[in-house]
Amino acid sequence: MKVHALVLVSAFTALSPRAGAEVLPECAAHRERGRLAEARACYTAALRSESDALVLAEAQWRLGRREEANALFRRAAAQRPRDPAPRLGWARLFLESHNAAEAGKLFEEVLTLDPNAAEAHLGLALAAAEVFDEEATQHAQKALELDPKLTEARVLLARLALEEQDVKTAAAHLDAAEKMPGSPLATYALRAAIDQLAGRPESPWTKKALDRNPRYGEIYATPAHLFMLQRQYAEAADLYRRAVEVEPELWSAHAELGVNLWRLGDEEGARRHLETAYRGDPYDPTIVNSLRLLDSLKRFRTFRTRRGILRLHEKEAELMRPYVEELLEKAIDAYQAKYQFTVPRPVQLEVYPDHEDFAVRTLGLPGLGALGVSFGHVVAMDSPSGRPPGSFHWGSTLWHELNHVFVLESTRHRAPRWISEGLAVYEESLAGEGWGDHLTPDVIEAIREKKLLPIVLLDRGFVRPDYPGQVAVSYYQAGAVCEMIAREWGFPKLLAMLRAYTDGRATPEIVETELGLTAERFDERFRQFLAARTGAIVAAFEPEWKPLMKKIAALREEKKLAEAVEPARRARDLYPEYVDEGNAYELLADAAFERGDKAGAAAELDAYRKAGGRDPAVLKRLAAWCVELGRKDQAQHVLEQLLWIRPGDEELHVRLGDLLLEAKKPQPALRELQSVLALQPLDPVDAHYKLALAYHQLQDRARTREHVLQALEEAPGYRPAQKLLLEIHDDHDPD
């Protein structure tokens, strides 16, 4: 037997056309045709007859013994320090075992031995593609440049193009790949995917592949992967299910099926397939993490609401439930009316206090930068307790994600990212004062450097960003695009566009038919819209605003607040959305307060709040000033807004509860005071006493008694509680 490197690596590349010289080609041929028993016998025979470590490694790997294979690859690499082959095989084993870092090191080692090793560039491309790194394309192109017959690189380029929904480029790569040597199966799978994504479920390529290899699960798993990327989880799950039917040992498909079923709310099915996947591939962190998280769900409590299902962690369920439930129902009401659509199933909302749990729920892996995600009618998001206090407007995020529920469900998940994210961003900004994303310095830079994408390419900014921060810039752009359409054509046009996407039409056509402009003209119109809104700050950002901010910071440092007022006003007026560190509003408020103008100070901080300022300490200061100025309604409003930012703040609930009690609004006061108790307060006596007062205002004697006694149980001499006890006692029993 000749010594070669082998193919069959990750789920996607399994049975891919060719990856360099083949080890045990006759065994590989059995596999390629789905003759698994023969393949197994062939590899087993090789183990008996061969002595070369590389061949043995290959055979062990294909027999599912990865640890033995790993040891043999190590030995082979040591025996042949100048030969790329053992390292290439070993790296592929690492790739299949979900260890891209080690694989990458070995591919780099190969490149030090042979800088023109096309296989190594291909390996780096595959590793990059797994994490949607834009370098995947460059590496694949380099591999092809070095070896134009490297079919697997061509197929990878086709897949990458399809991931970006660039069917034309993908088809061109596949045309080229068909003329190249090696197995055609991966090409068939991508052809089948193109058909299915275009709404042709019965693709002739599926039959062709299964005729060649009846156990070729990838013929379904590859399209499933692409459906999943387009957030069409039900379609993906259906295809993965078919993949494991034809190839029950395709562990990656079991894993993806499990993850997708979970996204669809089927936890039992998810667990079953994830456990199957784990038995076959215990190295996949996605499987392990997902199973662990599924186990930990017993620590979550489930609540049915009018039209939804809430899952909240037991440690914060009592606190969070009333606020989450209120907003969930409010959002469903609002979207149902505005989008003229009723979600056919209860909306399931899961709130994770541990961000890494949320990340695992979303991707199966930790390290996700997002705050929330919608899988359709199932939504997962961070809890505010999972983020630094005040850094996260959870109300805005919830509103954003629930918009996705309506857009994805009403379009059968066919809305592209630009419009689904754009609508969500747009709706957030309408939901409340200071809600939603705002114009950040990164966005200003991107506008200034003309980095915004044309409408037809805007999805790329979300899926495969070209520069750091492009995802955030794309969110802003998409939101602004939707806002422009709503303003200039009317909101119903956006609904019409959603309907057109549901019908499978593409962006250029939709823009032209619904808005009456070519995509290029639309882009021009958007540039004008954006210039009217941001032109001043984009022009002044570097030459004026930044120097002003520097000057303000220096004056603040020197405590010369009075001198800083004029430059701060100019900075604020130039860029009113800037509410982050060192913003002008706080300085102007401090300066006003210093000169005894509390009303002026409060006005500045209220403008800060309306512009999107969210620092809880600043907002609480504003509320305190409002109280001192006798504007208790305003104070109440400010504190109520803070509930959507930092609901775990005991002081917030205490102060809001006090204001509501004073305003004789016992029902909302009850909610705040119950939140205080749920937070295990520093002063439970006070919380019980105030709850008693609220119930007393509601003339609920039984509960008044219950809470006043609980207060006095801990603090028998607490005079206000004693007086309330006597009052209810004397009222009840005047004698």
Interacting residue ranges for another protein, rule: CB under 8 A? 388-389, 680-686, 705-706, 709, 712-719, 721-723, 725-726, 729
Q: How far is the CB of 394 from another protein (least distance, A)?
A: 15
DSSP state of 715: -
SS3 readout for 421-438: HHHHHHHHHHHCCCCCCC
Kindly state the smallest distance separating residue 723's Cβ from another protein, in Å. 7
Paired with 65 in beta bridges are none
Q: Is 392 left (phi over 0), alpha (psi -120 to 50) or beta?
A: beta
CA dist., res. 314 & res. 250, Å (int): 37
Q: State the nearest-atom distance from the C-beta of 360 to another protein, in Å.
A: 17
Cβ distance to another protein smaller for residue 295 or 662? 662
CB of 355 to another protein, least distance (A): 9
How far is the C-alpha of 269 from the C-alpha of 262, rounded, in Å? 8
Closest CB to another protein among residues 25, 648: 648
Comparison of 7 and 712: residue with beta carbon closer to another protein: 712
Pairing state between β 300-304 and 308-313? antiparallel
- C-alpha to C-alpha distance for 198 and 290, rounded to whole angstroms: 31
- Minimum Å distance from CB 681 to another protein? 8
The residue (of 48 and 719) whose beta carbon lies closer to another protein is: 719
Residue 119, SS3? helix
Question: Least distance to another protein from the beta carbon of 604, Å?
Answer: 27
Min dist CB 725 to another protein, Å, is 6
Is residue 316 within 8 A of residue 394, CB to CB? The reply is no
Q: Cα 353 vs. chain centroid, distance in angstroms?
A: 15
Q: What is the DSSP letter of 276?
A: H
What end-to-end distance do the CA atoms of the chain give, in Å? 107
Q: Which is nearer to another protein, 322 or 684 (CB)?
A: 684
Distances (CA, A) of 633 to 628, 630, 662: 12, 9, 11
Q: Is 32 exposed, middle or buried (0-12, 13-18, 19+ CB in 10 A)?
A: buried
List the structure tokens of 231. 């957030």
Q: What's the min distance (Å) between Cβ of 86 and another protein? A: 43
User: Which residues have CB under 8 Å from 515's CB, separation 6+?
Assistant: 485, 489, 493, 522
Q: Distance between CA atoms of 341 and 344, rounded to whole angstroms? A: 9
Give min distance, CB of 686 to another protein, in A: 7
CA angle 423, 426, 429 (to 5 degrees): 150
Q: Which residues contact 710 (CB under 8 A, 6 or more apart)?
A: 688
Residue closer to another protein, measured from CB, 211 or 731 = 731
Residue 243 near residue 221 (C-beta atoms within 8 A)? yes
Minimum gap (Å) between residue 7 Cβ and another protein: 45
Strand partners, 302: 311
> At closest approach, how far in Å is the CB of 390 from another protein?
10
Joined tokens for residue 722 = 């004693």
242 C-beta neighbours (distance < 10 Å), count:
19
Specify the 3-state DSSP secondary structure of 664. coil
Encoding tokens for residue 247?
């190839």
Comparison of 378 and 673: residue with beta carbon closer to another protein: 673
Grouping H, G, I as helix, E, B as strand and the rest as coil, residue 380 is strand
Q: How far is the CB of 314 from another protein (least distance, A)?
A: 16
Single-letter residue type at 66 = R
Strand bridging mode 378-382 / 372-374: antiparallel
Q: For residues 449 and 714, which CB has a smaller minimum distance to another protein in the complex?
A: 714
Strands 378-382 and 347-352 come out as parallel
Measured from the CB atom, is 179 or 732 closer to another protein? 732
CB of 353 to another protein, least distance (A): 10
What are the structure tokens assigned to 709, written together? 């006694």
Closest to another protein by CB, 326 vs 354, is 354
Structure-token pair, residue 424: 């969500």
430 vs 726, beta carbon nearer another protein: 726
Minimum CB distance to another protein, residue 714 (Å):
6
The whole-angstrom separation of Cα 185 and Cα 177 is: 11
Smallest separation, CB 22 to another protein (Å) = 51
**Residue 511: both structure tokens together:** 């823009």
Closest to another protein by CB, 520 or 683: 683
- Edge-first strand order for the sheet with 372-374 is 300-304, 308-313, 347-352, 378-382, 372-374
Residue 563 or 651: the one with the smaller Cβ distance to another protein is 651
Measured from the CB atom, the residue of 411 and 710 that comes closer to another protein is 710
Angle at 423 between CA 342 and CA 344, to 5 degrees: 15
- Token pair listed for 277: 């996947």
Least Å distance between CB 617 and another protein?
12
Which lies closer to another protein via its Cβ, residue 268 or residue 735? 735
- Nearer to another protein by Cβ, of 265 and 684: the residue is 684
